[in-house]
Copies of this chain bind each other. A is one copy, B any other.
Amino acid sequence: MREINIGLLGCGTVGTGVAKILIENRELIRSRVGTPLVLKRVADIDLNKERGISFDEGVFTSDAQKVVDDPEIDIIIEMIGGNGISKDLILRAIKNGKQVVTANKALIAGQGNALFKAAADKGVDLAYEASVGGCIPIIKTLRESLVGNHIKSMTGILNGTCNYILSKITDDGSTFEEALSEAQARGYAEADPTLDVEGFDTAHKLAIIMSLAYGMEINLKDIYIEGISKISPMDIEFAGQFGYRIKLLVISKNKGDRVEARVHPTMIPFDNLLSNVNGTLNAITISGDAVGDILLYGHGAGMLPTASAVISDTVDIARNILTGTHGRIPLLSYQMENIKKIPVMPVDEISTHYYFRFSAADRPGVLSKVSGILGNHDISIKSVHQKGRKSNGSVPIVMLTHIAKEANVQKALTKIVCLDVMCDRPVLIRIEDEDGQDLI
């Protein structure tokens, strides 16, 4: 059998991992695929960085375009990331008839519809398993293992940085700022952590898997996004007292003609497996009409775990090349002509359980005023806890609600915030609980 030649664009952390696996596990991969996967060319602007790999002469280059144009290359692995030159290089590779593997979630979430169309028109594959959940086979599971299922909902932890920070606040009582510094010191968070902690990276991933699950065009802009930067140790402590942990979740529910799609800090009960997913780990629960709930768990980032998913895609494509096929599995799980524009439900229209924490003056009648406003907005209180006075004289009042409508909640909070007894903005955290929900 012929060899499969690979061109790698970008040799940063994950790119280096891909090169390492291709070189160190070359014999293993050959024994499974039946032919060697040869790392023919590697392009990176940094020629001098120590990567712990000795490439053969002539493999390393600073000219990515030369790799994309090399007629001997079968598969291009794009590991540059971001929205810059990576898109042009991928499009050029597609134009040259090459198969492409990428882990670039920002690019797929933002411009996937156009990229997939270009690939389908040219009849090449564009694989992206590593763009969601690192090594966890989420995309393969959605496109292949659950192919007979209507997907009902997905709930997951898909950002290791946020999960590390929340775990750190929960376990050590750190503030958000302390936990973030620690994450940065360990290399789990970027110098500018906005993309992670404000939930944008998580939303990129949700946009991709929603499309695969429901057969809809990729739609990033309508996802409701709320990050974790306002989560305080106090709310995590109260959550614990009620039997919940706070996680930054992706939540998506199939409502037939519309879908729910949101990323926000969420309280989930201790006995939900997701609440035991800590540190930088990721996990997702997918609910299908035949399978019920399945959960997939593993490292959502890191050099070798992410590279493992890239290799999985690369081998899938190599097997297509060796058997003379392409387009075996539709790029977005559904046949192009069956992909619809399914509207995302405005967050105002969702219904869920809520946690509120009000900081109120310690005066008679406060509770009655607050609960009166909630009652007037059809929000039924499940439990109330008024805790000891804080140093500034205010009292935290914590409430958990039954299922309520988000629009009503927002209206009620707008009124509550105007009460003269309120000392601070109220805290709202949504709860995913078992009654009436699809969680495990």
Q: Which of B28, B136, B292, B302 contacts A150 (CB 8 A)?
A: B28
Q: Is the CB of B31 within 8 A of A315?
A: no
B296–A294 CB distance below 8 A: yes
Given A309-B145, A316-B144, A328-B323, A294 and B291 contact (CB-CB distance below 8 Å): no
A141 to B, closest residue via Cβ: B137
Q: How far, in angstroms, from A406 to B296 measured CA to CA in the complex?
A: 34
Contact with B along A288-301 (1 / 0, CB 8 A): 11111111111100
Scan residues 272-325 of chain A and give those whose CB is less than 8 A from a CB of chain B. 273, 276-277, 283, 288-299, 302, 304-305, 307-309, 311-312, 315-316, 319-320, 322-325
* A75 part of interface (Cβ distance < 8 Å): no
Q: Is the CB of B297 within 8 A of A297?
A: yes
Cα–Cα distance between A288 and B129 once the two chains are bound (Å): 17
Complex: A28 Cα to B289 Cα, angstroms: 12
Q: Does A266 contact B (CB under 8 A)?
A: no
**Of A161-169, A176-184, A331-339, A373-381, the one with at least 4 CB within 8 A of chain B:** A331-339
Chain A facing B: main interface SS: mixed
Contacts of A129 in B (CB 8 A): 145
Closest Cβ neighbor of A324 among chain B residues = B325
Contact yes or no, B308 A291, CB < 8 A = yes
Determine the residue in chain B with the shortest Cβ distance to A140: B145
Q: In the assembled complex, which residues on chain B have CB atoms less than 8 Å from the CB atom of A22?
A: 148
* A17 contacts partner chain B, Cβ-Cβ < 8 Å: yes
The number of times this chain is found in the oligomer is: 2
Near B by CB (< 8 A), chain A positions 29-84 give: 29, 31-34
Residues from chain B with a CB closer than 8 A to the CB of A296 are 294-297
By the criterion CB–CB under 8 Å, are B308 and A146 in contact? yes
Measured CA separation A315–B142 after assembly (Å):
13
Question: Are A297 and B273 closer than 8 Å at their CB atoms?
Answer: yes
* A299→B292 contact, CB < 8 A: yes
Cβ of A113 under 8 Å from chain B:
no
Q: Find out whether the CB atom of B25 lies under 8 angstroms from the CB atom of A148.
A: yes
Q: A160 contacts the other chain (Cβ, under 8 Å)?
A: no
- The answer, yes or no, to whether A21 is at the interface (CB within 8 Å) is yes
**A330 contacts partner chain B, Cβ-Cβ < 8 Å:** yes
In the complex, are the beta carbons of A291 and B295 less than 8 A apart? no
Residue contacts A-B, CB under 8 angstroms, 8 given? A17-B290, A25-B149, A25-B150, A31-B334, A32-B335, A144-B315, A291-B305, A297-B297
